Amino acid sequence: MNQLDALRQWTTVVADTGDFRQLAQFKPQDATTNPSLILKAVQKPEYRPLLDQALAQHAGKALDEIIDRLLVRFGAEILSVVPGRVSTEVDARLSFDTAATVARAERIVALYRAEGIDVEKRLLIKIASTWEGIEAARRLEAQGIHTNLTLLFSFAQAVACGAARVQLISPFVGRIYDWYKKSAGSAWDEAANAGANDPGVKSVRQIFNYYKRHGIATEVMGASFRNTGQIAALAGCDLLTISPELLAELAASEAPLAHALDAQAARALDIPAVELNEAAFRYALNEDAMATEKLAEGIRAFAADAVKLEKLMQSA
């Protein structure tokens, strides 16, 4: 049994890509996208026609609406390949505006419904895990619109997402690892910080155990992996979203893969419940330098790629 098949025994495998033509070979249950992945995809010759069609069919409409229609087109194509759900992201530039995030999410949902997609079962609206984003998710979930809270780096963000009853969170394993490695500089010991000791892996394990111990239904989906060792150390997590390159590495390896996270064992742990109001959330996030920096950096990066996509469309 290869590692990818072994992983599927305990964890739902999700493909982290906008390249829907790659999906079939790995047979993921779900797929996730983000502005950077869509930008990367539309610059490939095989996907450029989707961009051109969106521009031609919706000429005269606002650029942000055309982009949403392009995202939905990619999402619909992905859903023709995967049996489960696709995550489609709200513009990162709205990350600090609850009302605007809700409105953009509602438009994306309406576009999927117009494509005949069962949005309650097959769509997750992806939103950055700011306080405003989490509040937007709370409102959307109350409408039956399910959400994926992304750019999640801290326990405080996870606690707030659980309290808001969001469907799923995406803790970013690799970006946490990146920060700690950069911060340590020449003192970084790769072997000592690998596997279960990887700081990104430890963050996801803490969140997973907390959710299971307190009966929080929000799904945990580890994301942003740098190597297969990080993935193996989280076998048993609810879901893991993995790039095609790392999926291929897992499929090519027959090295043993053990069950690392155990929901049943977590329920017996002595973990106190945590409650956070807005002030406590903001203070806890502020106290976590890594999470503060990576959240801001992630929003800037996604926003920059949204701008690049707009410029690409304007120049087409």
Q: Which residues are catalytic?
A: 126
Q: Determine contact, residues 148/219, Cβ cutoff 8 Å.
A: no
Amino acid at 237: C
Query: How far apart, in whole angstroms, are the C-alpha atoms of residue 135 and residue 249?
Result: 38
Mind spelling out the 3-state secondary structure of the chain? CCHHHHHCCCCEEEEECCCHHHHHHCCCCEEECCHHHHHHHHCCCCCHHHHHHHHHHCCCCCHHHHHHHHHHHHHHHHHCCCCCCEEEECCHHHCCCHHHHHHHHHHHHHHHHHCCCCHHHHEEEEEECCHHHHHHHHHHHHCCCCEEEEEECCHHHHHHHHHCCCCEEEEEHHHHHHHHHHHHHHHCCCHHHCHHHCHHHHHHHHHHHHHHHCCCCCEEEEECCCCHHHHHCCCCCCEEEECHHHHHHHHHCCCCCCCCCCHHHHCCCCCCCCCCCHHHHHHHHHHCHHHHHHHHHHHHHHHHHHHHHHHHHHHC
Give just the sign of the alpha carbon dihedral 73, 74, 80, 83: negative
